[in-house]
Chain A
Amino acid sequence: MALIETKSLTYSYPGATKPSISDVSIKVEKGEFVLITGPSGCGKTTLCRTFNGLIPQFYQGELKGEITVAGLDAAKHPTYEMARHVGLVFQNPENQLFALSVEKDVAFGLENLGYPRDEMRKRVDWALNLTGISDLRDRSPHEMSGGQQQRVAIAAVLAMQPEIIVLDEPTSFLDPLSAQKIFDVIHELNKNLGLTVILVEHRLDLTAKYANHIIIMDQGKVRFDGETRRILSNEETRLIGVGIPKATLLYEMLNKDGANLGTVTPLSSDELAKMLLEVMKH
């Protein structure tokens, strides 16, 4: 069975005149790295909130259809229980951090679940280390920059070691190299530990290469859903205004002008450069 499965999921916020997501049917298998993208307001954050039950349990409103996450009915199963399976990093880190120190914030979820001190310490150190904020452990999250807060929010979720991690535009405030390092870490966990990753991002230049599966939404609906390379080589995705990686665009432009680079659409500059070198050898 898929780790996450939704069937005709439709949701309206309380008092809303139209649904924010409608008729969403998707499947995420264990160990996948899924990228969700689409224009602002298309429902990405709303969909993420259904994965751990915040919608409808916290937001109320009207949810129709089915959602199963890790074998549980996410719409009904208590959210604090869902948190064992699904870690959600919010778009806005301020909303996630409330403790007096970084260390306490990262330990918070573990404390709640009653982990022994030793285990807690180990996991907190591990998470702080992965996100590169070990030296900030005693600082107050509220005195930190947006980028640093985002690292803390990611560390807090990683420390819980959930099966599924959902990251909603998690590095928007970070400079590009720091963002890339965080994505590399998440990708490593995905490959080595089988962590299932769902990442919401606009910047496909930075992230398409990590994802085996992409979901493109528009106006509350899923418009494209499938293997990243296949979907991004479909020119219809351009009509939704998705930021296709430059390497992918360049490959298309070259092929259109008669270069014969083969049929495997590159998702990164490395892939495109290797293709070019390969063609030149012959």
Chain B
Amino acid sequence: MLTVENIHYAYASGVEALKGVSLTVKDGEFVAVMGQNGAGKTTLVKHFNGLLKPSSGRVLIDDVETTKTSVAALAKTVGFVFQNPDHQLFSETVEEEIAFALKNFGYEPAVIEDRITWAVNLLGLTQYRKTSPFMLSGGERKRVALASVLSWDPKVLVLDEPTIGQDHQQKENLRQFIMQLQTQGKTIVVVTHDVEFVAECNPRVVLMREGKIIADGEGKNILTDPQMLEQSSIVLPQVAQVFTYLNLPGLPKNVIDLYEAKRLLLKMLETSQ
């Protein structure tokens, strides 16, 4: 379990990026942290693996305060994939990249080999094992960063803006992949402003604005609240836009799922004729 208790955080520049944030993420939950550019999303999730320590308040991972343990120990529990994969890739080949952290965690060579094989296979990178990460496309580099983190099997996975620059198919693959990890009981935190992606995954949504959490709950309810979203510089998912526009008695407004939308609209058309 991940517990954030009333944390504040200020960068050296004086910018107060978090202004009293509290949050609990249970094991196995899937949470999307959303909000406008500069809302403090990245700053918040960097507290989950101890990359940042709060100026005040506490962050606990499985009841251990992040200030009372090493970043290495935290990294083993909380895997973090940065927005820009180039910030975390530095090895000559993809397999060395993945091996690096595993060696640091003290795994045996045979285990390391197994884990590499498993991770490159999972992310469709087998053909690139001996390739330099810098020869790969942006989307592929993101997958290398993800493979590397998954290889040590962290309990919690944090993905910062994984959909930026990804095409439709890549996003769909990512969605399937997240679902698969969820069935394995992983806790997943995704930072994103991609409403359509979130509408399709339907996770719990935590909405941030100016260093604070302004809403926390079911995607279905938060992503269909125009006033709330506008404050966070987010637009409604298209399905929700249709229902808001229709604004008809008897028709709910909190719909984000395509199939639910179809059912409701067909029923409406039937009864109106």
Binding site for B on A (CB under 8 A): 38-41, 91, 145, 147-148, 169, 172-178, 180, 202-203, 205-206, 241-243, 245-247, 249-250, 253-254, 257-259, 268-270, 272-274, 276-277, 279-280
Contacts and interface: CB of A to CB of B under 8 A. Distances in A.
B272 A202 contact: no
Contacts of B195: 176
Q: Is the interface of B mostly helix, strand, loop or mixed?
A: helix
B170 A40 contact: yes
Given A246-B258, A250-B265, A259-B266, 18 more contacts: A39-B169, A40-B166, A145-B37, A177-B36, A177-B230, A202-B167, A203-B196, A205-B196, A243-B171, A243-B196, A246-B239, A247-B241, A250-B261, A253-B259, A269-B238, A277-B246, A280-B268, A280-B269
Contact of B242 (A39, A172, A180, A250): A250
Interface string B151-177: 000000000000011111111100000
Contacts of A180: 235
4 closest Cβ contacts across the A-B interface? A269-B241, A243-B168, A273-B245, A241-B169
Contact of B233 (A169, A177, A246, A259): A177
A172 B269 CA distance: 37
B257 to A, nearest CB: 10
A245 B199 CA distance: 13
B137 interface: yes
Given A172-B165, A178-B37, A250 B269 contact: no
Contacts of B261: 250
Contacts of A250: 238-239, 242, 258, 261-262, 265
Chain B interface residue count: which class? 35 or more
Nearest to A181: B233
Nearest to B36: A175
Contacts of B137: 40-41
Nearest to A245: B238
B167 A241 contact: yes
Nearest to B39: A175
Interface in B42-92: none
A177 B242 contact: no
Interface string B9-46: 00000000000000000000000000111100000000
Nearest to A246: B238
B237 interface: yes
